[in-house]
Structure 1
Amino acid sequence: MSDYTHPEELFGAATVPEILARAGRGERGITLIDGGLRETPLPYALLAATANRVATGLARVGVRPGDRVALVSTTSPRFLLSLFGVWRAGAVPAVIAPPHRLTDLAAIMADLRRRIAHLDACCLVVADSFGEFISKRIGPEVPVLTCGELVTGRADDPPRHQPAPEDIAYLQFTSGTTGPSKAVVLTHRQLLTNVAVCCQRLLVEGVNSVHVSWAPLYHDLGLVAVLSAVAARIHLILQAPEAFLAAPDSFVDALSKFRATSTVAPNFAYGLAGDGMRLRPRRLDLSALRVCGDGSEPTRPGPVEAFTTYGAPYGLRPSAITPMYGLAEATLSVTMGDRFAPLSWDVVSRQSLCSGGTADPASPGESAARTLAVCGDAVPGVTVTIQDARGANVPDRVIGEICVQGPSVMLGYWQAPEATAEVIRDGWLRTGDLGYRTPAGIVVCGRGKDMIIIGGANLYPEDYEHVAAQADISVTRCAAFAVPDEERMIVAVELAGDVDPNAVADAVMARLRGELGHAPDRVVVIGRNAIPRTSSGKVQRGRCRESYFTGRLPVLAESAR
């Protein structure tokens, strides 16, 4: 395991209340922006002072150190004040994604009640806008407080308790892509150790650093971005995810206006940014950007090329895009590409990947090739190996399960010893992700539980979803999954716009048959937003399969092989 910087060495503190207190003595802070880049300043001094007030209010309603507090809100000043107030009270926050769609209200509330009960939360803190809405539906067992109530409290006598670095700091819900969401247990030291790594790898340091983020705060990517800015005491530009999605150009506009030096976003955001610069050229300056982390979903060439090509005239460095690999069970960051060199791609034979053994190199442009991003080497302190089913390390280019050790790997899943024992074995976190090692670093090629096996071939759903999405401009989202107990595959595609669904189904099937070695058994076209997704927008293939076979997917057309 490589040496790494401890949070005390970099920040002078190893707990969240301590880094907040230190930041509160400085002059910088957070600037929250909307889709039009209108600014709401939140100085760290105000954040620290108001967190004391919130902690006082929480103590008055019975919240004690170590208690779990569930929070449901989108990104806002009052939510940030409430979140840090929970930490100041010595309690353990768990941020739950707010409801984005109310099409299935009963299921949404049932999931919220399940999570609160699983946490054994002593109270629920919600955004002002839907405090009454949730209070009426959650039941009397759990007190419901609004962010506004806590922030506007007048008393300022917070608990004197200060958490220790080894105390539990946070419960992070997993995305739930391959099963029910679980709560990852992280201590203050684990959380801030990964924050220190991210600060160093993203070159976040000093008065000249400006980080831009729109990642949701219920996601590890968004949470670590905020904690990194507070710990390093830099200027953070923060936007709610729904504001970005409503005005995607605002991402690049913010990078330019605020002279951002770093950002981290999913791959699709860079594609939208590139398209925006191509279609709507305007005065921009991206010359300050040093690191643009690409994480949270597979890194694909198209969005990267669009962003770097159309960003170049505005001063964007070709080396700025940096692939990252991480997961909530390791706090966040596990590997990262070279920050000072262009992103490295590995072009491999799709047939070799399907055979399940090795990733054989192929020539760029080959129809049977798959282009994968090299996610670099392990960050300081972390050890990554590729292991077979028996737990033995495999040679370079042999596909296996990515396994991780390091100081930021979770203690386990909250109140789930069996699930914990399933993923932490012999001191290794078995991620469930499939990948292989190259001299340039780790390459991730899929999720083990999502693998579709037909005729002895391992078929990656990501391949089918990517190719299907290119078949017609009206396709917005795709999900590929296996038929239970049968060697057959279904590809579901969402449709947007007033187009013929039968023609789209036939076009997708023809594209899949022409580009991939094995055509799916059936392509089904469904309505917009019908594919189940996690709170962070990832496709839930298992739930999609269940909905299809129980008749809950609104099928508009089908095309059979």
Structure 2
Amino acid sequence: MNGGEHTVDHPLPEDMFGATTVPQALERAAAAPAGITVVDRHLAETPLPYALLASSARRAATALARAGVGPGDRVALVSSTSPGFLLALFGAWRAGAVPVILPLPHRVSTLAETVDGIRQRLDHVDARCAVVADAFADLVADGLGADRPVLTCGQLAAEREATTDPAPADADGLAYLQFTSGTTGPPRAVTLTHRQMLTNAAVCCERFRLERDRSVHVSWLPLHHDMGLISALAAMAYRIPLVLMPPEEFLFRPDSWVDALSRHRATSTVAPNFAYGLAARGMRLRPRALDLSALQVCGDGAEPIRPTAVEQFLEAGAAHGLRPEAVTPMYGLAEATLAVTMGEVPRRIVWDHVSREGLEVGGTARPVPPDAPDARTLAVCGHPVPGVRVEIRGPDGKPLADREVGEIRVHSPALMHGYWSDPEATAEAVHDNWLHTGDLGYRTPDGLVVCGRVKDMIIVAGRNLYPEDYEHVAAKVEGVRPACAAFAVPGTERMAVAVEPAKGVTDHADLAGRVMTRLKEQLGHAPDKVLVLEKGTIPRTSSGKVQRGRCRDLCLSGEAVVLAARAR
């Protein structure tokens, strides 16, 4: 797992898929009987066979060409998961364009801010046009300006003429711009080629042990997120049935995801950790007939993996045939297209119990019993996927031994070529074809453990405090909404924890006091201050991750409405 080891051979897209570009992969999939099924929260189904998607993509490509889109042009897509969105996405690839998927607003109150953010991203990538969901068109068209056409998914679907041949596509040419989440800074657009995307998709197919005659993949993840997009591309390119659910449908009724897993006899799915906690809760509170016996891989990634959510999901699912080894931890990031490490399939998830004091003071992951007073339980995210190498380096750039905490660095055949129009950020992130991830972690015999972010680390009196610990403990206090943010006060060795009150909580001073008490009891070093903020203040990325730096800025500038504060 270090830089000196020989690079493991990885599956090639031309061997696994018989294609090296996305349009080629779709044309080959069109010959298969499988396809995509889009379902809503009530499991109403809209079938979209790969053959129909391929023919519809040809017509969408014609409509885009009429709008002036040519090979290499960037096409922004602003829509939730729907058949119309899918044909627009694959139509852009068919036209030789470079799609850029942007998120929808979380709520109407953020509409103006979201439209402004969309416009900034359109300008950043110099998009030729924007394709938006029909229902969203009137809300955003005026705000996106008159300098580029705004089309709807319905307009592309209405095109009757179909192009015969896909625009020439270079396997090593630009295929997609993936905006990063922006958890520790402004979002950047990762440049990815067709080969990089399909190489990572091939690796996922191999590690998920997909089989064409029996595998079914189900996902509610937004397709603007790398985990959602690459897993969907893998299913399409491997020509297996793919079931997609719009993310807002899952958030409105989380039970619908588990219901879809059961109804469609899913063999694989991927989701962030919180989703498994919601699924477990739904199975406990709303007993119903389910069959989860076909599930082989439940990929868990994109955020810290908590044992409570995993164990509750496995316990609740066991009554419905879920295997105890089904949950598979994963680590990845957009700059590596997606997958970096993954747990072995089938093998039960491995937890590493380490001393919190060892992490904070010495930067060493010292094993302790699970019930030790200062135990911190972390998921082991497995070994690098084929073709990938991982190193752990200290601040001086030297490699570290097992269980020494340092920055995770990645070498991968699917590593980005760079950030779009941002050579300085690219030079900062990539050195000699090694990605400096900014993530903190360490090695164990069972694989990689991720324990934090370099930029989010809070240093107090020589101790490295992990904001994830403070947020996790604060969120478990009764009356606190799930979103919490811990951050350092710049230029000082002080830290604050921001929380939001749950519905019906009116004694904000009492809430701040209870949070402070819980943090003192469980973490030893309490923050200097607990802030109770107005609901909806703590900012998140489009994928739901807390933006600690932005929350800090809102609090320090006075923009955040502070309902109560409690000093240590």
Deviation, structure 1 residue 291? 0.6
Q: Which residue of 510, 523, 526 maps to 2:530? A: 523
Runs of 5+ unmatched residues, structure 2: 1-6
Deviates most, 401-410 or 551-560:
551-560
Deviation, structure 1 residue 517? 2.2
Deviation, structure 1 residue 554? 2.1
CA distance in 1, matches of 2:99, 2:206: 26
Question: Does the CA-based 8 Å contact 1:476-1:495 persist in structure 2?
Answer: no
Question: Does the CA-based 8 Å contact 2:292-2:317 persist in structure 1?
Answer: yes
Q: Which residue of 197, 211, 223 maps to 1:205? A: 211
Task: Deviation per CA, 1:432-457: give whole Å up to 9, x if none.
Answer: 00000000000000000000001111
Correspondence 1:161 to 2:189: no
Q: For residue 121 of structure 1, what is the amino acid of its counterpart?
A: A
Question: Does the CA-based 8 Å contact 2:479-2:511 persist in structure 1?
Answer: no
> Which residue number in structure 2 is paired with residue 503 of structure 1?
510
Task: Deviation per CA, 1:311-349: give whole Å up to 9, x if none.
Answer: 111111000000000000000000001211110000000
Question: Does the CA-based 8 Å contact 1:78-1:151 persist in structure 2?
Answer: yes
CA distance in 2, matches of 1:436, 1:270: 25
TM-score, scaled to structure 1: 0.99
> Which residue number in structure 2 is paired with residue 453 of structure 1?
459
Q: For residue 545 of structure 1, what is the amino acid of its counterpart?
A: R
Deviation, structure 1 residue 362? 0.9
CA distance in 2, matches of 1:111, 1:314: 43
Question: Does the CA-based 8 Å contact 1:344-1:374 persist in structure 2?
Answer: yes
Deviation, structure 1 residue 168? 0.6
CA distance in 2, matches of 1:367, 1:245: 35
Deviation, structure 1 residue 158? 5.1
Correspondence 1:250 to 2:256: yes
> Which residue number in structure 2 is paired with residue 332 of structure 1?
338
TM-score, scaled to structure 2: 0.97
Q: Which residue of 87, 103, 107 maps to 1:101? A: 107
Runs of 5+ unmatched residues, structure 1: none
Q: Secondary structure at the match of 2:191?
A: strand
Deviation, structure 1 residue 128? 0.5
CA distance in 2, matches of 1:38, 1:560: 51
Q: For residue 156 of structure 1, what is the amino acid of its counterpart?
A: A
Q: For residue 45 of structure 1, what is the amino acid of its counterpart?
A: A
Question: Does the CA-based 8 Å contact 2:479-2:501 persist in structure 1?
Answer: no
> Which residue number in structure 2 is paired with residue 512 of structure 1?
519
> Which residue number in structure 2 is paired with residue 50 of structure 1?
56
Deviates most, 258-267 or 549-558:
549-558
Task: Deviation per CA, 1:35-87: give whole Å up to 9, x if none.
Answer: 11111111111100000000011111211111111111111110000000000
CA distance in 1, matches of 2:559, 2:345: 45
CA distance in 2, matches of 1:549, 1:445: 27
Question: Does the CA-based 8 Å contact 1:59-1:159 persist in structure 2?
Answer: no
CA distance in 1, matches of 2:544, 2:111: 18
> Which residue number in structure 1 is paired with residue 4 of structure 2?
none
Identity of aligned residues (%): 60
> Which residue number in structure 1 is paired with residue 550 of structure 2?
543
CA distance in 1, matches of 2:48, 2:9: 35
Q: For residue 458 of structure 1, what is the amino acid of its counterpart?
A: N
Task: Deviation per CA, 1:458-501: give whole Å up to 9, x if none.
Answer: 00000000011112254321000011111111101111211222
Question: Does the CA-based 8 Å contact 1:505-1:557 persist in structure 2?
Answer: yes
Question: Does the CA-based 8 Å contact 1:75-1:239 persist in structure 2?
Answer: yes
CA distance in 1, matches of 2:280, 2:472: 18
Q: Which residue of 20, 28, 31 maps to 2:26? A: 20
Question: Does the CA-based 8 Å contact 1:505-1:558 persist in structure 2?
Answer: yes
Deviation, structure 1 residue 257? 0.9
CA distance in 2, matches of 1:460, 1:474: 20
CA distance in 2, matches of 1:557, 1:467: 19
Q: Secondary structure at the match of 1:314?
A: coil
Q: Secondary structure at the match of 1:491?
A: strand
* 1:473–1:307 distance in 2 versus 1, CA, 3 Å: farther
CA distance in 2, matches of 1:109, 1:159: 35
Correspondence 1:534 to 2:533: no
CA distance in 2, matches of 1:257, 1:47: 23
Count of aligned pairs between the two proteins: 561
CA distance in 1, matches of 2:92, 2:547: 31
- Report matched runs for 1:121-160 at 5 Å: 121-157=127-163, 160=166
Question: Does the CA-based 8 Å contact 1:346-1:361 persist in structure 2?
Answer: yes
Correspondence 1:39 to 2:55: no
Correspondence 1:193 to 2:212: no
Correspondence 1:385 to 2:417: no
Deviates most, 79-88 or 245-254:
245-254
Q: For residue 559 of structure 1, what is the amino acid of its counterpart?
A: R
